[in-house]
């Protein structure tokens, strides 16, 4: 019995010792599948990876965002009064089309959260890349790209929401900036301009056919920013027209970008990130990262494609089409729009559409063969730079030959007669309206000019009070979108935009 006691005591002792020794590291937590902020930012590859996360962060704009054929880019198209939808249950699209949206709307939430997520990544990159041991010029380049990204998203946010929190450094749980106030619009623009200026001097190549940010994209965006600053709500002064025109001119003079001869190239998979395309959202079917836009824009359930579902999310109103000039090539079948297509089951049967649909983003390979589209979505293209130059240049320098040649390059491609010195600002606005239709430009133009084209009279009229052809009337509230209610709920010091 005594021996038994000894034995048992030994056992107990062993357990006790194990208990004391074992528990020190036992409860330490160590994530082996992901880095943490503490153990990251050590190598040049880390800098590249965080930049990549920002390229991924652009995708939300043209990805799907709802169950019913919705995508965030459409939020900026429906309140222009030029679009319609065939998706009966698409509440978000209908609310903006009918101007019955509210702050609970999912679209604004997606724009807000996704843009700020990329801004947070940019802030982290800008704060932490300097501590990485690497080649100084690469470091500068990466930081330049990150600053472009930050400016890109703030430029969207300030135009969509007006005053927004201006966060330029990383935020953590104990940071006061976790609950920021909205910053004045002027401060946001100042930060955008500063970031873009920094990016201009970051040593980026002028163009880049892989889809990375290039100096040409920085300058094109900066031209757009200046043009917007010249208009509402900032009205920063006429010198901004000159600055916009000058910046656009730098892109034009460089010669790296040019207008495609053929509109087909605007939706050709072989010319991504080159030629007319300055900055794009990149997709690849090979990597199974695909673009839904072609499918979303097909006329609903007419059996013209390999897609199981042809959605009919958005198509132009007849009045929008009718507002074009006689002979505009862009209206010809299968240029920017189309009205018929062969049946997928029987190519000899032509399916006539009950309306006019957008052909600009039509991926023929996907429609006829693969049902997988990797067409890029375009944020900035050369036609916009030309029109920015024309619009700003006319304000700053008058109808100079350079101004006329910029706008006429667009018109000539559309088989329209060139403008002479009699050209007015409104003529250029219209050219932008036709050329950049459904590319997320027109609503921003409407808001900065506070002028909307009456598609029935052909005249420009005030934003506030403009009646859409199908009934609803724009009020002052629609000069901005609502701050997401969810964000106000979580940060009660935020205010809502007027009228929302």
According to CB under 8 A, which residues from 177 to 216 bind other proteins? 177-180, 209-212
Residue 289 found at the interface with other proteins (CB under 8 A): yes
Closer residue to other proteins in complex, CB, 10/417: 10
Residue 293 in contact with other proteins, rule: CB under 8 A: no
User: 118 vs 437, which CB is nearer to other proteins?
Assistant: 118
By C-beta, is 296 or 436 nearer to other proteins?
A: 296
Beta-carbon contacts of 94 under 8 Å, excluding residues fewer than 6 positions away, are: 85, 100
3-state class of 329 per DSSP? Answer: helix
The number of residues that bind other proteins (CB under 8 A) is: 103
Residues 136, 44: Cα–Cα separation, whole Å: 11
β 377-381/350-358 pair status: unpaired
| Distance in Å, CB of 236 to other proteins, minimum | 25
Q: Measured from the CB of residue 314, what is the shortest distance to other proteins in angstroms?
A: 14
Cα–Cα dist 428/438, whole Å? 17
Task: Say if CB 167 and CB 180 are below 8 A apart.
Answer: yes
- Is residue 80 part of the contact set for other proteins (CB under 8 A)? no
Length of the chain: 500
> Do 276 and 382 touch, CB atoms closer than 8 A?
yes
Residues β-bridged to residue 289: 284
Sole window of 75-83, 90-98, 252-260, 397-405 interacting with other proteins (rule: CB under 8 A): 90-98
Of 309 and 462, CB closest to other proteins: 309
Query: How far separated are the first and last CA of the chain, in Å rounded?
Result: 85
Task: Point out which span in 35-43, 189-197, 220-228, 231-239 binds other proteins (CB under 8 A).
Answer: 35-43
171 binds other proteins (CB under 8 A): yes
Closest CA to 227 of 429, 410, 379, 77: 429
Q: Which two tokens stand for residue 282?
A: 């990149």
**In sequence order, which residues have a C-beta less than 8 Å from that of residue 40 and are 6 or more positions away?**
46, 128
The answer to whether residue 100 forms part of the interface with other proteins (CB under 8 A) is yes
**Residue from the set 127, 234, 306, 475 that interacts with other proteins by CB under 8 A:** 306
Residues 430-449 touching other proteins, rule: CB under 8 A, are: none
Contact between 128 and other proteins by CB under 8 A: the answer reads no
**Residue from 132, 164, 192, 229 in contact with other proteins (CB under 8 A):** 164
Distances (CA, A) of 134 to 215, 216, 393: 22, 25, 42
- Interaction between residue 23 and other proteins (CB under 8 A): yes
Distance CA 291, CA 281 (A): 9
Q: Does 172 participate in binding other proteins (rule CB under 8 A)?
A: yes
Site for other proteins in 332-371 (CB under 8 A): 354-355, 371
**Of these, 12, 13, 17, 350, which contacts other proteins (CB under 8 A)?**
12
Candidate residues 13, 42, 43, 102; the one interacting with other proteins per rule CB under 8 A? 102
Long-range pairs, 423-427, Cβ under 8 A, ≥24: 423/394, 423/399, 425/391, 425/394, 425/395, 426/460
Out of 13, 17, 35, 205, point to the residue binding other proteins (CB under 8 A).
Answer: 35
């Amino acid at each position: 019995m005594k021996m038994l006691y000894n034995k048992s005591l030994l056992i107990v002792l062993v357990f006790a010792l194990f208990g004391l020794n074992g528990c020190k590291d036992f409860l330490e937590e160590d994530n082996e599948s992901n880095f943490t902020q503490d153990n990251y930012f050590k190598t040049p590859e880390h800098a590249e990876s965080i930049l990549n996360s920002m390229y991924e962060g652009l995708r939300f704009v043209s990805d799907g965002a709802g169950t019913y054929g919705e995508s965030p880019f459409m939020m900026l198209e429906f309140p222009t009064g030029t679009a319609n939808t065939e998706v009966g249950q698409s509440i978000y699209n209908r609310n903006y089309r009918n101007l019955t949206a509210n702050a609970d709307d999912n679209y604004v939430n997606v724009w807000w959260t996704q843009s700020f997520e990329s801004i947070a990544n940019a802030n982290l990159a800008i704060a932490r890349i300097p501590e990485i041991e690497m080649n100084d010029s690469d470091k500068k380049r990466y930081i330049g790209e990150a600053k472009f990204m930050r400016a890109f998203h703030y430029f969207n946010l300030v135009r969509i929401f007006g005053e927004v929190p201006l966060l330029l450094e990383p935020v953590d749980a104990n940071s006061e900036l976790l609950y920021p106030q909205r910053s004045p619009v002027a401060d946001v623009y100042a930060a955008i301009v500063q970031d873009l200026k920094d990016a201009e001097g970051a040593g980026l190549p002028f163009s880049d056919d892989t889809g990375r940010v290039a100096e040409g994209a920085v300058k094109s965006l900066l031209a757009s920013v200046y043009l917007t600053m010249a208009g509402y709500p900032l009205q920063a002064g006429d010198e901004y027209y000159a600055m916009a025109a000058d910046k656009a001119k730098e892109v034009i003079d460089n010669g790296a970008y040019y207008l495609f001869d053929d509109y087909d190239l605007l939706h050709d998979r072989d010319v991504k990130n080159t030629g007319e395309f300055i900055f794009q959202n990149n997709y690849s079917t090979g990597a199974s990262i695909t673009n839904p836009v072609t499918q979303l824009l097909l006329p609903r359930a007419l059996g013209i494609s390999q897609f199981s579902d042809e959605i009919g999310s958005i198509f132009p109103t007849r009045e929008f089409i009718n507002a074009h000039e006689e002979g505009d090539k862009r209206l010809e079948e299968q240029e920017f729009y189309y009205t018929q297509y062969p049946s997928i089951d029987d190519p000899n049967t032509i399916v006539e559409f009950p309306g006019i649909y957008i052909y600009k983003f039509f991926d023929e390979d996907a429609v006829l063969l693969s049902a997988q589209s990797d067409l890029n979505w375009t944020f900035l293209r050369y036609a916009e730079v030309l029109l920015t130059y024309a619009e700003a240049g006319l304000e700053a320098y008058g109808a100079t030959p350079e101004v006329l040649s910029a706008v006429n390059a667009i018109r000539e491609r559309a088989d329209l007669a060139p403008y002479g010195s009699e050209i007015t600002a409104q003529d250029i606005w219209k050219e932008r309206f036709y050329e950049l239709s459904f590319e997320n430009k027109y609503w921003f133009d409407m808001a900065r000019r506070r002028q909307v084209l009456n598609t029935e009279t052909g005249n420009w009229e005030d934003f506030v009070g403009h009646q859409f052809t199908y009934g609803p009337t724009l009020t002052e509230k629609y000069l901005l979108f609502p701050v997401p209610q969810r964000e106000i709920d979580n940060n009660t010091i935020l205010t809502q935009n007027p009228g929302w």
